[in-house]
Amino acid sequence: MHAAQAFRSRASHDRHVSSRRAFLLQSASATGAVLAGAARLHGAAADLVAGMATAVVWPPAPTPVWTFGGTYPAPTLRVRSGERIDLTLRNDLPAPTNVHWHGLAVPADMDGHPADVVARGGSRHYGFRVDARAGTYWYHPHPHGQTAAQVYAGMAGFLIVEDEEERALGLPSGVHDVPLLLQDRRLRADRSFAYEPTLMDRMSGLLGDVAVANGLADLRLPVEAALYRLRLLNGCNARVLRVAFADGRRFLVVGTDGGLLAEAVSATSVDMGPGERVDVVVDLGGEAPGRSVSLVSLPFAAGGGMGMGSAQGAPLRLATLDVARPASARTALPGRLATLARLDGARARRTRTFDLTMGMMGTSAAINGRTFAADRVDVTVPMGDVEVWEVRNLTGEPHPFHVHATSFQVLDRSTARTLPPQDLGWKDTVLLWPGERVRIVLQFTAHRGLYVAHCHNLEHEDAGMVMNVLVD
Ligand code: C2O
Ligand code: CU
Ligand code: CU
């Protein structure tokens, strides 16, 4: 075991998270899928402490981090669809914070609205039923103006929802189901996560020069020669990833933000904006022990981040899978995956247009000309109405557009004749390339109340590319 992984699993025994309800808590181990240290927790008072800690990102020296539950990444929460999450957030940080359950439709007062924060020293109960399809979701802080710094400092974790329909498919599971939190960090002499955005960073988003996966630079995962499900999460503040394998091998895209696709789609790369998840299945079955397969982000051209090596679109090695032993179990992939209800854009009650714009120096990151104001409702959407939202990127750099409180489907893109695999399922975040127009169809059906929609480039979000959405 890697020294940092050993450190990490020891640290996970001191975690402060538990649940009144039975849900599976995984240690935030570097492999993500290691179930050692995982436990079904019953009866205990549930605490999720937001506090400072250290984590080994670049072994052997520790890096000071801000955490949920004492670890970076935050503990992986596994919950069955229909079960409850009940946690009390205790804020031991020197700043206000909160929790947003990215991708879940929860009551508005549980959603971590940017203005609904827990003061330092305070605490707050988060309790709700998880009404979501099986899939890969995540949680992170969302205090207005401070989200970028807090996520960058280490506060992000997986929330994995499971259900019987998915289990019955026999997809790779257990050690063959690996959540991968993909982030980038700026390499500093003191190896700290100090968040010091330049003017350029505030404008285009802070890009790191090195990849950190599941909290480790140069993550190496010992794997079997078998099928693997990789739950990819782009947890970068601002970096768009074009995820591929270094040897160009094909893989199957099986899921998006909101769970499984109707059927698997073959691909050699997949684009992911910050906030997006893509579940893929890769076949390492033919590999001899001793082989290594790297997961990379391929180079591409896009606006923004004109810095040197760290520019948007720069190539990165994300993680390496080291084939260590033959398969312990055989899995085959089913042809059909899940039933995917389709929202019909032609049935929409109305179409709304949202223009994403930016002024010089990031001072006016805006949606429809407005910068976020916590007490102004920007859009009121009647509960249950099907709507088409036409989002237009009028800038020269990419923006991942994210909607709270419901999932949506992508209808079309102005720059693509056919939709890429990551657009084919339920989503809550969609990437807009420079100058692109994307039409999505959505329907709020879960809860009334005040939510937000925003750019998930966290520097843009903190600069106010956020709007209040009232579901009424
Ligand atoms: Cu992941 Cu409103 O955010
Ligand atoms: Cu969200
Ligand atoms: Cu943006």
> Identity (one letter) of the amino acid at 9?
S
Determine the Cα–Cα distance for residues 85 and 68; give it in Å rounded to an integer: 15
Helix/strand/coil (H, E, C) string of 405-417?
CCCEEEEEECCEC
User: What is the structure's pLDDT at 310?
Assistant: 66
Ligand approaching nearest to the C-alpha of 235: 1
pTM score of the predicted model: 0.91
Label residue 19 by pLDDT band (50, 70, 90): very low
Q: Is the pLDDT of residue 169 over 90?
A: yes
User: What is the structure's pLDDT at 35?
Assistant: 28
Atom of ligand 1 nearest to the CA of 429: 1
Exposed e or buried b per residue across 161-186, where buried means at least 16 C-beta atoms within 10 angstroms of its C-beta: bbbeebeebebbeebbbbbbbbbbbb
Determine the Cα–Cα distance for residues 147 and 403; give it in Å rounded to an integer: 16
Indicate the burial class of 332 (C-beta count within 10 angstroms; 0-12, 13-18, 19 or more).
Answer: exposed
Q: Which residue lies with its CA nearest to atom 1 of ligand 1?
A: 102
Q: Is the pLDDT of residue 95 over 90?
A: yes
How many A from CA of 260 to the centre of ligand 1?
21
- pLDDT over 70 for what percent of the chain? 88
Residues with CB under 6 A from ligand 1: 100, 102, 140, 142, 275, 402, 404, 452, 454, 456
Tell me the residues surrounding ligand 3 (ion) with CB < 5 Å.
399, 455, 457, 460
Comparing 12-26, 169-183, 388-402, 457-471, the range with the smallest average pLDDT is 12-26
How many A from CA of 47 to the centre of ligand 1?
22
Mean residue pLDDT of the chain comes to: 89
How many A from CA of 407 to the centre of ligand 1?
13
Half-sphere exposure in the Cβ direction for 242 (13 Å, CA): 16
Determine the Cα–Cα distance for residues 256 and 340; give it in Å rounded to an integer: 12
Q: Which residue lies with its CA nearest to atom 3 of ligand 1?
A: 102
Ligand approaching nearest to the C-alpha of 234: 1
Determine the Cα–Cα distance for residues 147 and 342; give it in Å rounded to an integer: 33
Atom of ligand 1 nearest to the CA of 103: 1
pLDDT in tens, 244-301: 999 999 999 999 999 999 999 999 999 999 999 999 999 999 999 999 999 999 999 9
How many A from CA of 68 to the centre of ligand 1?
16
Q: Is the pLDDT of residue 2 over 50?
A: no
Tell me the backbone φ, ψ of residue 11, rounded to 5 degrees.
Answer: -60, -35
User: What is the structure's pLDDT at 16?
Assistant: 29
Label residue 360 by pLDDT band (50, 70, 90): low
Q: Greatest CA separation found in the chain? A: 59
How many A from CA of 281 to the centre of ligand 3?
30
How many A from CA of 465 to the centre of ligand 2?
14
Determine the Cα–Cα distance for residues 135 and 22; give it in Å rounded to an integer: 18
pLDDT in tens, 400-419: 999 999 999 999 999 999 99
Determine the Cα–Cα distance for residues 407 and 388; give it in Å rounded to an integer: 13
User: What is the structure's pLDDT at 9?
Assistant: 32
